[in-house]
Structure 1
Amino acid sequence: MIQDAVISGTAPSSSIDEREGDNLVVAPSRHIGQWIAAGIVLVLVGLAAWSVATNPNFHWPTVGHYLFDPLILKGAWMTLWLTLVVMAVGILFGIVLAVMHISDNVIVSKVSAAYIWFFRGTPVMVQLIFWYNLAALYPRYFLGIPFLGITFVEGSVNDLITPYTAAVLCLGLNEAAYMAEIIRGGILSIDSGQEDAARALGMRRTKIMRRIIIPQAMRSIIPPTGNQVIGMLKGTSIVSIISLGELLYSAQMVYSRNYQTIPLLLVACFWYLVITTVLTAVQSRIERRMGRSTRRATPKHFLHSLLPFTGRNSPPGGMPAA
């Protein structure tokens, strides 16, 4: 039959179907329900934004007046600096605690577990007040050789524990407990066969952790660590109870004089959002670099994930990405 078709000048039906398939036009899916829902959401957001913008009780001129006030800017810088210092302390101690927790030494592992249990189980405010009043328990400190009467450094704990020192100690040591669990989870996510292979090659455990385990675990550690940084940025506001001049305390100092509470709180929220946006952009860039082998799991930009119909969420109708 195929020979007859060739002789008669006709092509098989499969060839005809292929030629016709080349001329088919694929119609995009309409997704009418999605567009209706998006329209409703936009209308509601627009109404809410209009209500906020036109409400005179927000005192927007006052917000604009104090937005770049020197005291507010100083508080914003203190908040950012305190966040970076606390996270550095938390990450360094967290690495030590995580390695201790997975150690084969039972005593070392239990000490790390007890540390994590205590700092995760007590409120941060209680810890902060405790550190700030440490001089009530230990009025003086000294560094020397015990039982021989030799002292190198001595002083008053009340002079040593300033509001800034108390904030770094409290938030840093508390953050170390959470970072220890994050790092421990990242380490345990690596296949144990790699450690066994490295030991078979004669590598020591510290070198295995530094050269093999930690670099691979960073892909699992970076995202939750970024979330911890954002959480710590907002958590620094708790140190306002010990009169440390961070962003919230600076706003409180201003509205305690002019009684413009809501506008000054809006100013503080504005700068928290600005700093959070910058830190989120940095986190996104680090994630893309650390996860180059799994780039599909991270957006090109942190705002890219906020846009509709982009990346893997694009509709099947050929709609261009934003």
Structure 2
Amino acid sequence: MIGTTLGDIRQHLEALAEETGQYYLVCGRTGERPSPAIGLRFENRPTARAAARATEQYRAALRRYDPQLPRYDVIVCEEDGHSSPNESETVSTNHARGATASRETPLSPPDDRSASEESLVDFCHAIAGAVFETVAESSHQSVERAIMDTYLEIAETIETPDELCLRLLESMAIELERRLDPEAQAAILAAAAERLSSPPADDDPLEFALSRLQSVALFDSYTLERNALEKQVQTRSWTVTLSAYPLGRAETGVVTLPLAIELFRHAPESPISISRAEPIDGSSSTWELVVRRSTDERPSGLVSVPSS
């Protein structure tokens, strides 16, 4: 029994994986690596097939929250480029049967860089799924429906997958900000972060979190500066600049939910507050934020920060 939550399925996949495995998963139609199996390899074909089934189960669970989630025909490939043509038939039921059987050129194994990276779409859906599950199991179930209603209303006017996934995060932030106080927001995000795979330990959680968000193309670049005046006091404060950040609007401010989730993953015990969203040089895509960690402060700005 794999389990019914996204966290259970992801843990099952990670338990099946072997770093030196010769088998990996791809979409038989597009060649893309399907999340949450990106970067995972498996020792033999039966194990890889079990992983393919778990991957489909994971994506089916996400689709309950977002019907727009891309559908993949998950197949097993071997390191030397040989694919398993019948795998798409046994794993996925949402495609033309036998589509991979006529492939003349076998899929080439991805390089190390592409195998370890996650797309913006998959990252957003993983975050959203973790938050939705947490909300559904909390005393705030009505918030889940409100988030979906807001998202579906926004999605009617958008066609591109990248834009849709960003609007999903934005709709979540709108309803969490509107319906929950900061302490409840912090509890939801911290619990959601626990559902995601644990990153390796790092001495600089903020740097690690920002690097992670940059790797999924949530922004082009960032700068991080420790605020010198507070080096000798208990509160730690940093000024963060995000370039080409698509979740900022001059009239409303900046959605900070992805950054908060990543910080909770890397430093779950550290109280967090985010403030002072200022557009740089009048731009609505480059923003400056202040991130604080202090045991004396109440959480704030974890889902969004109004523009200054």
TM-score (norm 1): 0.28
Larger radius of gyration: 1
More strand by share: 2
